[in-house]
A and B are shown apart, each in its own frame.
Chain A
Amino acid sequence: MDPVVHLRAAVCVLGRFPALAGIDLDVEAGEVVLLRGPNGAGKTTLLRAVAGLVPVVRGEAVVLGHDLRRDRRKVRRHVALLGHTTGLYDDLTVDENVRFWARAARTTSDPVEAQDRAGVQARIRGVAVGRLSAGQRRRASLAVLLVRDARLWLLDEPHAGLDAPGRDLLDDLVRSAAAQGTTVLLASHELERATPLVDREVVVVGGHAEAEATVDVA
């Protein structure tokens, strides 16, 4: 079976700066992989490249069977990215946002169920996103991620902004998604939190994947 993510000597350039300088990475279906490394190592660019948001200008890049160098737009519908930003409209309520992105993605998932699973409290579902706290917005973004029903999750510092119950909830969602065959690529500096979730770690330094380690799940 082909890997979900297959990168060989992949290069991404931001302006004139090579944010990914020939990275190799293979991720199998259902795997949970942690990307770790110092600030500016290229973790976020790697996630954005896999999502088809940043062009891969050299090397091989195939995600979910789509060649990113030929047409990176085709893969986008099948991935879900939880990044540093919310990706939500401030003037729409949480419920309206989740419904809008669900309809945009042509998904059959239930927006109400997605909000339930993301732990979005019923009392804030009718509140404009712009009026919510950072943690509440994060949960709303999580609901959008869930409603998209994507085959590949790309999580960039997913625990940031969440309270303790929110972090536990996120961990449960990642485990449950992986158990159902969803592939998860996760970038985090919170190693004590992220390591128990993953099958494997990849260290990204200077735009390269320096080393891989299999996590011993006790």
Chain B
Amino acid sequence: MWRDALLVAGKDLRIERRSRVALNQVAPFAVLILVLFAFALDPDRGDVLVQAASGLFWVAVLLSSLLAVQRSAALEAADGVADAQRLSGLDPAGIFLGKAAAVAVQLAVLEVILGVGVVLLYNVHLSGIGTLVITAVAATIGLAAAGTLYGVLAAGLRVRETLLPLLLLPVVAPVLIAATRASESALTGLASAVAPADWLRLLAVFAVIYVAFGVAAYGSLMEES
């Protein structure tokens, strides 16, 4: 399983390095979301942007993750690749872990870019890098696992581009809420009434559940796609 996961992750990242879809399309899209929020919330109206920075950051990550997941699923839907994959003898759990890992790496890079964007555009002062990193790791694993799972679920459908957001966004809403709350004080420097640890636990549970579910169910979902 681990060998297959490494093989698939390496292949997906090689394709991404060559096609540069994440760098040339997903990252600009994510930064554009931050800029549009900045326009909409008007930085001249006090510290509205600072207070909302954490939520806006994770909304941008979430919307951008849809593109990354769609791209990841589309690779396996092209020109008979799904059949070739089923015939290959690759362990479906390994395929799932490999694809989720590749998406997670792309999201991690995206989060660094967005983090810099939030600091520059929203004028926030980071005060808890450690909490931010732990939140980002847990949220990224959860998003990548759930996205990969729903990506293969929608892969066989002609309307997958429009269906995937409808399926995925409600499911990952807990990640948005928990990641926003967990990183609120660390990202904005403002005092928070809620301790990040409880929200980090929720993120960790979400990530573990979706990784475990993906490992167990990906093979069956591949058969249906």
A interface, over-half SS: loop
Q: A76-B87, A76-B89, A104-B89 are in contact. Are A87 and B11 (CB under 8 A)?
A: no
Binds B, one of A22-30, A33-41, A78-86: A78-86
Asked whether A96 lies within 8 Å of B14 as measured between CB atoms, the reply is yes
| Chain A, residue nearest B7 (CB) | A103
A: number of interface residues (CB 8 Å): 29
- What are some 29 contacts across the A-B interface (CB < 8 A)? A51-B87, A52-B87, A53-B83, A53-B86, A53-B87, A76-B86, A76-B88, A76-B89, A77-B88, A77-B89, A79-B87, A83-B83, A85-B79, A86-B79, A86-B80, A87-B83, A88-B79, A89-B15, A89-B78, A90-B78, A91-B15, A92-B11, A100-B7, A101-B88, A104-B7, A104-B85, A104-B89, A106-B89, A128-B18
Please give 8 more A-B residue pairs, beta carbons under 8 A apart, in addition to A76-B88, A80-B87.
A52-B87, A76-B87, A79-B87, A81-B87, A84-B80, A90-B79, A91-B18, A104-B7
The yes or no answer to B81 lying at the interface (CB within 8 A) is: yes
Bound-state Cα–Cα, A86 to B157, Å? 20
Residues of B near A53 (CB, < 8 A) are 83, 86-87
B: number of interface residues (CB 8 Å): 21
Q: How many A-B residue pairs have CB under 8 A?
A: 68
Bound-state Cα–Cα, A51 to B82, Å? 13
CB distance from A52 to the nearest CB of B (A): 8
B interface, over-half SS: helix
Which 5 pairs from chain A and chain B are nearest by CB?
A85-B80, A87-B84, A77-B89, A104-B88, A87-B80
Asked whether B11 lies within 8 Å of A100 as measured between CB atoms, the reply is yes
Bitwise, A98-126 to B at CB < 8 A (1) or not (0) is 00110111100000000000000000000
| Chain A, residue nearest B88 (CB) | A104
| Chain A, residue nearest B76 (CB) | A89
The yes or no answer to B90 lying at the interface (CB within 8 A) is: yes
Bound-state Cα–Cα, A5 to B78, Å? 29
CB distance from B22 to the nearest CB of A (A): 13
Residues of A near B78 (CB, < 8 A) are 89-90
